Amino acid sequence: MGKHGTGVINNNGERLVDFCGLNHFVITGTLFPHKEIHKNTWTSDKRTNNQIDHVLINKKYRSSVRDTRVMRGADAASDYQLVRTQIKLKLKKQDKKANPRMKYDVSKLQNPAIKNQFSVELKDKFAVLEAVSDDVDIEAKWDNFYNAFNQSAKEVLGTRKRKQKPWIGVESWKKVEERKHIKMKIENAKSIRIKQQLQAEYKAKDKEVKSSMRSDKRKWVDSLAGDAQRAAENGQMKTLYELTKTICNEKPRHATGVKDKQGNIITDEEGKRTRWKAHFEEILNRDFPTNPVVKISDDIPELETIDTTPVTKAEVKNAIKKLKNGKAGGVDLLTPELLKADIDTTANKLHSIICDIWDQEKIPKDWKKGLIVKLPKKGDLNECANWRGITLLPIASKILGRIVIDRIKIGIDKKLRPEQAGFRQGKSTTEQIFILRNIEQSIEWQSSLYINFIDFEKAFDSIHQGSLWEIMRQYGIPGKIINIVKLMYSDSVCAVLDDGKVTEWFQVKTGKARMRNVRISVSSCD
pLDDT digits (tens, 9 = 90+) for 332-386: 899 999 999 999 999 999 999 999 999 999 999 999 999 999 999 888 899 998 9
Lowest model confidence (mean pLDDT) among 95-99, 136-140, 365-369, 400-404: 95-99
pLDDT per residue as tens digits for the range 440-494: 887 777 777 777 776 665 555 567 778 888 888 888 889 899 999 888 888 889 9
Bigger pLDDT: 6 vs 461: 6
Q: Is 110 left (phi over 0), alpha (psi -120 to 50) or beta?
A: alpha
Rg (CA), the chain: 32
Summary count for the chain: helices (H), strands (E): 15, 13
- The DSSP annotation for 276-333 comes to HHHHHHHHTSPPPPSSPPPP--S-PPPPTTS--SPPPHHHHHHHHHTPPTTPPP-TT-
Q: d(Cα 378, Cα 230) in Å, to the nearest integer?
A: 31
pLDDT per residue as tens digits for the range 55-71: 999 888 888 888 999 88
Bigger pLDDT: 218 vs 417: 218
Q: What is the mean pLDDT of residues 393-402?
A: 92
Q: Is the pLDDT of residue 263 over 70?
A: yes
Q: Is the pLDDT of residue 517 over 60?
A: no
Q: Is the pLDDT of residue 513 over 50?
A: no
Q: Are 433 and 443 in contact (CB under 8 A)?
A: no
pLDDT at 516: 46
Q: d(Cα 140, Cα 136) in Å, to the nearest integer?
A: 6
Lowest model confidence (mean pLDDT) among 17-31, 33-47, 257-271, 307-321: 33-47
Q: d(Cα 303, Cα 436) in Å, to the nearest integer?
A: 35
Determine the angle formed by the axes of helices 138-156 and 343-360, rounding to 10 degrees.
Answer: 160
pLDDT at 455: 64
Percent of the chain with pLDDT over 70: 91
Please, what is the end-to-end C-alpha distance for the chain in angstroms? Answer: 76
Q: d(Cα 172, Cα 316) in Å, to the nearest integer?
A: 50
pLDDT category at 291 given cuts 50, 70, 90 is: confident
pLDDT at 520: 43
pLDDT at 505: 93
Q: Is the pLDDT of residue 47 over 80?
A: no
Give the residue among 441, 462, 405, 430 at the shortest CA–CA distance from 280: 462
Q: What is the mean pLDDT of residues 510-516?
A: 54
Lowest model confidence (mean pLDDT) among 30-34, 89-93, 190-194, 294-298: 89-93
DSSP 81: P
Q: Indicate the pTM of the whole model.
A: 0.69
pLDDT per residue as tens digits for the range 118-145: 999 999 988 887 776 656 789 989 999 9
Q: Is the pLDDT of residue 521 over 70?
A: no
Residue 488's φ and ψ, nearest 5 degrees, are -70, -20
Three-class secondary structure of residue 134 per DSSP: coil
Residue 415's φ and ψ, nearest 5 degrees, are -90, -10
Q: d(Cα 375, Cα 453) in Å, to the nearest integer?
A: 24
Q: d(Cα 331, Cα 447) in Å, to the nearest integer?
A: 55
Q: d(Cα 274, Cα 261) in Å, to the nearest integer?
A: 12
Q: Is the pLDDT of residue 82 over 50?
A: yes
pLDDT category at 6 given cuts 50, 70, 90 is: confident
Q: What is the mean pLDDT of residues 244-271?
A: 85
Q: d(Cα 426, Cα 490) in Å, to the nearest integer?
A: 32
pLDDT at 92: 60
pLDDT at 336: 93
Bigger pLDDT: 301 vs 136: 301
